[in-house]
Amino acid sequence: MKEEWQARLVLLGHRDKVEQWRLHQLPDITQENIAANFLFTSKWGSTGVPRWKFELGLELARAEDPLVQQKAELMFRENLPRWKVEMAARCEQDWRLAHLDRVSCRAVGELYMAAREEWRGVLLAGEREEWRAELVAGVQQEWKALLMLQFSRKEEPWRLRLVAPLTQEWQVKYVFAAHEVWKAEMIAALKPEEEMRGRELLECSTRNFAEQVVAGFLDIYYA
């Protein structure tokens, strides 16, 4: 042993009958805090930290990871699922690690780990349904992702297909506000500068009248 704390942990481990293979790792660990508080803690009982988790923590300690302390605090919580522990070890940004604990399931977690933008990661971390998480993962604009999460329904995939290519916030809002399919389709087909026409379509009570609005027959009243 090169350090006094390492020798002390060896003696304590020998007293507590810690497995030899674990103690043999001590000379290669340079971070006392990680070794004493996580890898060789007594809170796990006589069997110690599960081997897979111990070896994962050992890799972090040897790699001199700048986030090792924050990662260890999350990874060595009791009853944390293995997939979340492994994802914590993969985190390279502090914001990703900070929100990982809120992720509800492995499928959402994979989308969360693939997110490049912090805003997308924050939305994914708070989402409990996989299909809604997939919406967030596939949308480029934050405002659109927020609207889709707020108004989308799983039983209306046709509406999601309509808003997917839209770039105007007003248009996305109007498509979600339109109760009839035909009306939503008409609004989605409008040009970006036709917001006034979109508002008129929302008020139309019949398809025939809506077609007149789209054709521009009522534009004279708004000139």
Instruction: Please give the structure tokens belonging to residue 12.
Output: 């304590």
Same-domain status, 37 and 122: no
Asked if 9 and 85 sit in the same domain, the reply is: yes
86-111 burial: b if 16+ Cβ within 10 Å, else e? bbbbebeeeebbbbbeebbeeebbbb
Q: Are residues 9 and 57 in the same domain?
A: yes
The answer to whether residues 83 and 103 belong to one domain is no
Q: State the average pLDDT over residues 114-119.
A: 96
What is the extent of the structural domain holding 212? 141-223
pLDDT at 42: 66
Report CA 104 to chain centroid distance, whole Å: 9
How many separate domains does the chain show?
3
Q: Give yes or no: residues 70 and 109 share one domain.
A: no
Considering the domain architecture, whether residues 26 and 79 belong to the same structural domain is answered as yes
pLDDT of residue 140: 92
| Per-residue confidence (pLDDT) for residue 222, from 0 to 100 | 58
- On whether both 121 and 150 belong to a single domain, the answer is no
Model confidence at 216, pLDDT cuts 50, 70, 90, reads confident
* pLDDT for residue 49: 82
What's residue 43's pLDDT? 67
Summarize the confidence of residues 94-109 as an average pLDDT: 95
pLDDT of 46 reads 53
Confidence (pTM): 0.82
Looking at the structure, tell me whether residues 150 and 221 fall in a common domain.
yes
On whether both 72 and 153 belong to a single domain, the answer is no
132-166 pLDDT per residue, tens: 999 999 999 999 999 999 999 999 999 999 999 99
Residue 217 and residue 171 share a domain: yes
| Residue 1 shares a structural domain with residue 85 | yes
Residue 2: band (very low, low, confident or very high) from pLDDT cuts 50, 70, 90: confident
Q: In this structure, are 75 and 33 located in the same domain? A: yes
For the cut 80, the answer to whether the pLDDT of residue 44 exceeds it is no
Q: How far apart are CA 88 and CA 26, in angstroms?
A: 23
